[in-house]
Structure 1
């Protein structure tokens, strides 16, 4: 019986990733190789079998009937290989190898990245591959070990752990407030310069939430500046561009340096939770266990960033 070669296995992996993700570019990102490497692997596989596996267009890949059959078989093979790998990793007590983590860009920049050197100091044999962005990542299909998500995890195949609230508050620079006054209620935002955030995923401008008792008041401000990157919103506020909303973990360093002031903090709203997710197959994985424990340290309750904002808000209130 002919033995399957390494090149053939590489081709099957590249083909399966391209089929599940819909493009060579996405498959290349998941496999940490170039799109041309994925394309060539698939072409060699097609030449070996003498079959056309994809119907290609300029925008997407569509499986042929033969391709669909091979995809189902390749998936079974890869699931078995994944099970073997996880069993071997679980048998090793010490975290080592590479841990793939995905998170939204601002969470990665402001919370995770500054803490990674400390994590690596604890586990020097474990490399961290952190992938940031708003693109939805299928952890199982793309071989990612753990994800941080904002909002409803929405995947019953995953183990999840609540990390912290995604708290939204209004902010402005001290200089802007000296010039234009400090609003004490959302109704007083009328007439102020406003800087708003636009979601890249939907193109919609954010509505500003304020918690009034049991209800949440949402305001659509008349914004002179609208930006689709949260860090750029914060930078504009620091430059006295007006009043805007921000996640507290983004604004906290600016508040600590006195460059931003929290407004109406008692009305700040927890928009949705930040959650960690990992596949059931990683339950006994020492790498994932180590990182989840580390996340528990970073996202302590209350979080350092919310403590910072709350303390700044208290210091603004006049003493009686």
Structure 2
């Protein structure tokens, strides 16, 4: 078979289970997608999909063929990527979105060094907590926390992060050490204030393997995690912060972790990007930087 584009169309339909959705991902009409799959079936001499008015599913032959197609296309994509990287250096504008604390603490120091190596590369970094739409916002990639739903985006797991309750020794000497999460109701808590609303981010814990959350806020609530860290170090109260934010302060003794027996399960961190976008040298560079920068088990979780 000479036309590998038919394979790409078939794989997208098999993944989406819908001609219209596959067409949206490929930039084709549903009719064009259906005709491409029919041409492939005719060429292969086998029915690959079962079609109804509401559902598209793989036949037994189609399921086996799909697995082989995924591997074939992955090999082709890897070969294309390698070729592109060998003939083209990263250039143009790289646009990424990163949560504020993770960006400033972990990623930005590495990105700042790329300018000297790649003078034709421009990097736009948006630091924020909003849930961006990569295609609508014109972004190449974004870093997101938590398990990622099926959305048509490609996702690569970077690491895990723990969120811990911590306070300055001066505060704990003055107000005492909480022994249970419920004790936080009697403490000055530094909450994360959700922008433009009266809501505060929940504090997540685990007791005997069972996760649970508490709605906590105090007299001081901030919508910036770095400012929350500064306030906690200054003795203003107890804050729930990511391990990468507090690891240095804990090792230096300016913060102490409390309620260690109730720390919630780790939160996964992903980088997400649009299908096909990773073939652009600037995007592949960003993915490579993250891979080299962030180990699967980072030291910030060992505090």
CA displacement 1:261-317 (0-9 Å, x = unmatched): 11123432246422101111213222222211211122212223223xx2xxxxxxx
In structure 2, distance between residues paired with 1:92 and 1:138: 31
Alpha-carbon spacing, 1:125–1:304, altered in 2? closer, same or farther (3 Å): farther
2:191 paired with 1:223: no
**Contact 2:100-2:225 at 8 Å conserved across structures:** no
Partner of 1:113, secondary structure, is helix
State the secondary structure of the residue aligned to 2:112.
helix
Q: Which residue of 2 aligns with 1:173?
A: 168
Partner of 2:230: 235
Number of equivalent positions: 226
Contact 1:199 1:206 in 2 (8 A): yes
CA distance in 1, matches of 2:212, 2:243: 19
Q: 134, 146, 161: which is aligned to 1:139?
A: 134
Q: Quote the offset at 1:193 in angstroms.
A: 2.2
Kept after mapping to 2: 8 A contact 1:192/1:242: yes
Matched, 1:249 2:244: yes
- Aligned partner of 1:54 in structure 2 is none
For residues 92 and 235 of structure 1, the distance between their equivalents in structure 2, rounded to whole angstroms, comes to: 46
Say if 1:251 and 1:260, in contact at 8 Å, map to a contact too.
yes
RMSD: 3.0
Query: 1:156 — aligned with what?
Result: 151
Q: By how many angstroms is 1:91 displaced?
A: 8.0
Partner residue, 1:193: 188
Alpha-carbon deviation of 1:90? 6.7
Question: For 1:301 and 1:215, how far apart are their aligned partners in 2?
Answer: 25
Give the structure-2-normalised TM-score: 0.65
Instruction: Please state how far the C-alpha of 1:203 moved relative to its aligned partner.
Output: 3.5
1:301 paired to 2:299: no
What residue ranges of structure 1 are gaps of 5+ in the alignment? 1-74, 77-85, 311-320
SS at match of 2:179: coil
Q: Does 1:212 align with 2:207?
A: yes
Alignment check: 8 A CA contact 1:195 1:224 kept: yes
Following the alignment from structure 1 to structure 2, what is the Cα–Cα distance between the partners of residues 133 and 263?
28
Residue aligning to 2:91:
96
CA distance in 2, matches of 1:297, 1:265: 30
Residue in structure 2 matched with residue 283 of structure 1 by the alignment: 278
